[in-house]
Structure 1
Amino acid sequence: MSGREFDLVLYGATGFTGLRTCQYLARNYKQGVRWAIAGRSASKLEEVREKLVNIDPGLSTLSIIQADASSPESLEAMAARTKVVISTVGPFLKHGEPLVAACVKQGTHYVDSTGETPFVLDIIRKYHKEARDKNIILVPECGFDSVPSELGTKMVVDFLRKEYNLPTKSVKLSVTKLRGAVSGGTLASICEVMEGKEGGMKDTLDQNQLVPEDVASKVVPARITLPSVFYDHDFKAWQAFFIMSFANEKIVKRSHGLAVEADGVGYGPEFTYRESMSAPGFFTAALASLGMGLGGAALSVGPLRRFIQNRILPAPGTGPSDESITQGHFTVKIIGESSLPENVPADASADALKPIKAIATIQGGEPGYSETCRYLVEGALCLVQNEDRVRNENKITGGVLTPAYAFGHILIDRLRAQNVNLTVSKL
C-alpha cells in the first residue's frame, strides 16, 4: 500500500457521525495524515469541506471522492486509493457489505462504527477467510460499541497475567456514569437489527455467536443473558440491564476466541464476561431494565416498529446539538477476577487461596459522537502509523478482527496520548 494516494478515507462524511469524525481529524491531525472524504453526494461533501475549513484553512483542498453503496465500481475505485477506509454509513445491514467487499478485493484495511451484530456475523462468514489469507485487517465495532468493553477487558486480563501470572476467570463491566444522546442514524440501525429479529431472540442471547467455529468447544458455553436487576458488591451498586451489552459481550467473546485460536488459552480457560449498568437504587435499576425491555419488545413488532420509526424517531442524519455533545460524558469500570492459583502449598495462607481481582476505569466525553469519533480515527491510525507494531506485537495477519485483538495496547497508548483516562490496578 506504500504507493497509495491517501492514508485513510472517511466514507459517510456527510452523515451525523461522519461529519464529527472529520472534525476530530481536522482538529487533531493537521499534519502527518493524508486523508479524503467520501460519500454519494458531491454537493454535500463540499458543504462538509467548507465546515472543516473553519477548523483548518489548509483543508480547502481536501479531496472529495464520490462513491455509493449501489455502485460497487465506485467503492472499489475509492478503496484502491487508500490504505484504510473508515465507514460510518449505517444501517450497516442495508449499506455496509459492498464496502467491505470492495476493501477485501482491493487489499484495503477497514474500520467502522457499527453496533449491528448481524452485520458483523455476515461479514465474518463471507470475508474473514479471504481477508486473513490476503493479510487485510477488518475491524468492525470500533466506536463506543465496543472499544471501552474491549480495552477494559484487555487491560485487566493482561494485568492479572503480567503481575500474577494468572489467567482470568471472569470479567464484568458496569457503566457507572453515562450522559449522551442518540442520533437518527443510530436509531435506524437499531430498528434494522430488530426487523431481522422477528420470530425469535435466540441469536441475540447467544454470547458466543461471533466466536470462531474451530475453537467454540474450547470457549465456556454461552450464558443466556437476560435483562435482570441485581446488587453487585464489587461495584457497590444495583445493576440494571445495559442495552449495548448484546453487542459488546459478543465482541469481547470473539476477542477471547481469536486469542484461543492463536495460543490455545486466550483470556483463560474459564473466561466469562458480563455487562450491566449501575443505578442509585433498586427501583431505579428495575425501572431502567423494564423500560429497556419494553422498548425492545415494541421495536420487535413490525407494525409498531414502523409506526415508531416513521412518526416518532428522528430521521437519519439528525442528532443531538453540539452543546449536548459537549456536556456528555461516561465512566465504565471493568473488574476481572483471576482463576485460582495452582500448586499452592498446603500451609499457604487463606489469602493465597483466593482469586485476585483487578479493576480498570475508562472515562471519556459524550460516548456516541465524541468518543466514537475518537476511537474510529485512532483505531484507523493504528493501521496507518503503527501497522508494523500491530503485526509484530500482536502477531496479526488479517481477517474480521476486533479492536482489542487487532489493536490492543497500541490503541490504549494512542488514546492515553490524547489524554483519555484509562487506568488499571489491583482491586
Structure 2
Amino acid sequence: MATKEGREFDLVVFGATGVTGQYVVEEVARIYKEENIKWAVAGRNVDKLRNVLTESANNVGEEGSLDGVSVIQVDVKDEDSVYEMCKQTRLVLNTVGPYRFYGEPVVKACVASGTHHLDVSGEPQYLEKMQLKYFEEAKEAGIYVIGACGFDSIPAEMGISFLKQKFDGDVNSVETFMSLKNGPKGSKVNFGTWQSAIYGLAHASELKSLRKQLNDTLFQEPLPKSNFPLKRRGVLFKSDVVNGWCIPFLGSDRSVVLRSQMFGFNYLKERPVQVQTYFHLSSLLACLVTMFMATIFFLMASNKCGRYLLEKFPGFFSLGTFSRGGPTREQVKDNSFTCTIHGEGWTEKLTDPTDQHKDKPDKNLTIVVKGPDAAYLATSIFLVHCGLTTLKDEDKMPGKGGVLTPGAAFAKTSLLGRLQSRGIDFIVNDP
C-alpha cells in the first residue's frame, strides 16, 4: 500500500545492522506508531536485519511489535540496489559510513529518485562536496539532502538557533564549549568514526579547493566583516564561561555552522554570526594528554604507514576510546554531553544584515544544551527527529529543496520542540 506521495514507505533506515543503525532503529521503533509512519530497514544481510528488528523490539519493550516492518536487501556497492531502495521511500536515514567511501552513491540515488536524504556525517570534505555537487539537482528534484544530523552538529546548530531566538537583539559572535561525561564503566566509539577521522585529516588539503568552488557558485556574496571580530583563543586556556580548561574542538561543528551562516546571509538575507568551537575537559592534565594524543594522531594520519597502524590498532592509539565492537549498553546508558554556547551582541537590532554596529557589544547570553550519550543515544534521537521534521515540516524549510546544513534547514521548524520532547534540554543559563 502506497503513501499519499505514492511511495510504499515514509522512511528507510539504511545501515540498520551497524552500531549506530541499531540505535536509530530503536528510536524509530519508539515513535513510529504515534507519528503514523510506515518504515523499513535496509542493509546487506537480511537475517541480520531481522535480528536487529527483534532486538530493537525487545530493547524498547515492544516484543514482537516490529514483525511487520519490511526488510530491504541493499549493498551500497551495487548502485541498482541502492536506487531500488530509494525509489520506494520518501526519505532515507543513512548510517553507512565512512561517508567519504560510501556516502555519495546513496545521495546520488536519492536525488535521482526524488527522495530526501539525511545522514550523521561529521566529515567536512564529504559534506561540502555533496553541497557543491548536488545542490542544484536536489533543488530541482524538490528534495532535501542534509548531513551532520547527529552529534555532529545538531547541538551546535540548534543551540545557536535557540540562542538567537532568545537573544532579543543582534548576535555578533558565539563560542561553543563541548563537554562529554562518561559513566563509571567508561565509553567506546565504533571503528567507523575513527576511520572517518583518519581519512578526513589525511585529505584535509581538499577543503581549500572545495570552499573556493562553494564561494564561487553557491555563496557568492561574502559574509560582512564585523567591526568587532571574534578572535580564536589559544590551544590551551581556562574559560570563565564553563569554569574549566579547554582546547580547540576539532570536529566539524565550526565548518557546518559557518555554512549555515553563509546560506542564511546569501539566500535568506539574515545577519550572520561569527563562531569558534572548543572542547571542555575535566582537568588541565586531561587537556595535556588529549593534546599529546592528538599530535600523534595528526602525524600518523598524514602518511600511509601511520594510517595503517591507526586502523590496525584503534584501541591503542586512542587510549581505548575507539574499538571495532563499539560500546556496551551499560556504557552508553551512563554517558552524557553538555554543549555550552555563549553569545555576545547588541540590544539594538539593525534592519539591514550588512549594516555594522559601531559601539562595542553591550549584551551577552549563555545557553546550555544537554542530552544522553552523544555518539549513539543522542545521535539516534537527532537523526530520527530531523527525518520526521523533514517529512512533516517541508513548508517551514527554506526554498523547495537543496543540499543544506541542519541550521539552515531546521531553524524555523518544529525540530527544537521535538528534541525537547525526547529528553534533549535547551536551557537559558541565567547569570
Q: TM-score, normalised by structure 1?
A: 0.86
Structure 1 residues 354 and 176: CA distance shift in structure 2, 3 A: same
Q: Secondary structure at the match of 1:60?
A: coil
Q: What code does the residue aligned with 2:269 have? A: G
The one-character-per-residue Cα deviations of 1:118-148 (angstroms, maximum 9, x if unpaired) are 1112211210111122221111010000000
Give the corresponding residue for 2:387. Answer: 380
Aligned length: 403
Q: 1:65 to 1:298 in 2, by over 3 A?
A: same
Q: Counterpart of 1:184?
A: 191
Matched position secondary structure for 2:66: helix
Q: Is 1:67 aligned to 2:53, yes or no? A: no
**Could you say if the C-alpha distance between residues 286 and 4 of structure 1 is closer, same or farther in structure 2, counting changes exceeding 3 Å?**
same
Deviations 1:315-372 (CA, angstroms, capped at 9, x unpaired) = 98620111100111011110111147489xxxxxxxx965211111110111001100
Following superposition, the deviation at residue 414 of structure 1 comes to: 0.5
1:308 is aligned, of 307, 310, 322, to: 310
Is contact 2:75–2:82 with CA below 8 Å preserved after alignment? Answer: yes
Deviation at 1:110?
A: 0.9
- Percent identity over paired residues: 27
Q: 1:365 to 1:223 in 2, by over 3 A?
A: same
Q: Deviations over 1:71-95 (max 9, x none)?
A: 2121111111111100000011111
Distance in 1 (CA, whole Å) between partners of 2:334 and 2:84 is: 40
What does residue 418 of structure 2 align with? 414
Q: Which runs of 5+ in 1 are unaligned?
A: 344-351
Deviations 1:24-75 (A, max 9, x none): 1113334412110001222221222222342431211210111122221211
The AA in structure 1 aligned to 2:297 is G
Letter in 2 for 1:11: F
Match of 2:173 among 170, 173, 178: 170
* CA distances 1:154-205 after superposition (whole Å, capped 9, x unpaired): 1112322xx2xx32111000124433531111112222223324xx58749x
- Tell whether the 8 Å contact from 1:8 to 1:86 is kept in structure 2 after alignment: yes
| Closer/same/farther in 2, CA of residues 386 and 342 from structure 1, 3 Å limit | closer
Q: Does 2:373 match 1:366? A: yes
Among candidates 319, 327, 350, match of residue 320 of structure 1: 327
1 CA distance for matches of 2:292 and 2:171? Answer: 32
Question: Are 2:40 and 1:36 equivalent residues in the alignment?
Answer: yes
Task: Tell me how far apart the structure 2 counterparts of residues 14 and 174 of structure 1 sit (CA, whole Å).
Answer: 32
Which has the higher mean CA deviation after the structures are superposed, 298-307 or 216-225?
Answer: 216-225
Is the 1:325–1:370 Cα contact (8 Å) retained in structure 2?
Answer: yes
Residue 278 of structure 1: which of 270, 280, 292 is its match? 280
Is the partner of 1:99 in helix, strand or coil? Answer: helix
Q: Distance in 2 between matches of 1:218 and 1:112?
A: 27
Q: Does 1:140 align with 2:140?
A: no
Mapped to 1, the partners of 2:66 and 2:27 lie a distance apart of: 13
Measured in 1, the distance between the counterparts of 2:80 and 2:211 equals: 36
Q: 2:8 aligns with which of 5, 8, 25?
A: 5
1:25-424 equivalences in 2 (<5 Å)? 25-31=28-34, 32-54=36-58, 55-56=61-62, 57-160=64-167, 163=168, 166-179=169-182, 180-197=187-204, 200=205, 203=208, 213-220=218-225, 228-244=235-251, 247-267=252-272, 271-313=273-315, 318-339=325-346, 341=348, 354-388=361-395, 390-391=396-397, 395-408=398-411, 409-424=413-428
Determine helix, strand or coil for the equivalent of 2:65: helix
> Can you give the 5+ residue segments of structure 2 that lack an aligned partner in the other structure?
351-358
Partner SS state of residue 376, structure 1: helix
Please give the secondary structure, in 2, of the residue aligned with 1:258: helix
Q: Secondary structure at the match of 1:419?
A: coil
Q: Name the residue aligned to 1:346.
A: none
Deviation digits for residues 219-277 of structure 1, max 9, x if unmatched?
Answer: 55999979701232333322223232xx110100011111012233333xxx3101112
2:17 counterpart (4, 14, 17): 14
Q: Secondary structure at the match of 2:67?
A: helix
TM superposition score normalised by structure 2: 0.85
Distance 1:71 1:358, change over 3 A: same
1:382–1:411 Cα contact (<8 Å) kept = yes
Label 1:316 to 1:353 Cα distance change in 2 as closer, same or farther (>3 A): closer
Q: Distance in 1 between matches of 2:425 and 2:105?
A: 36
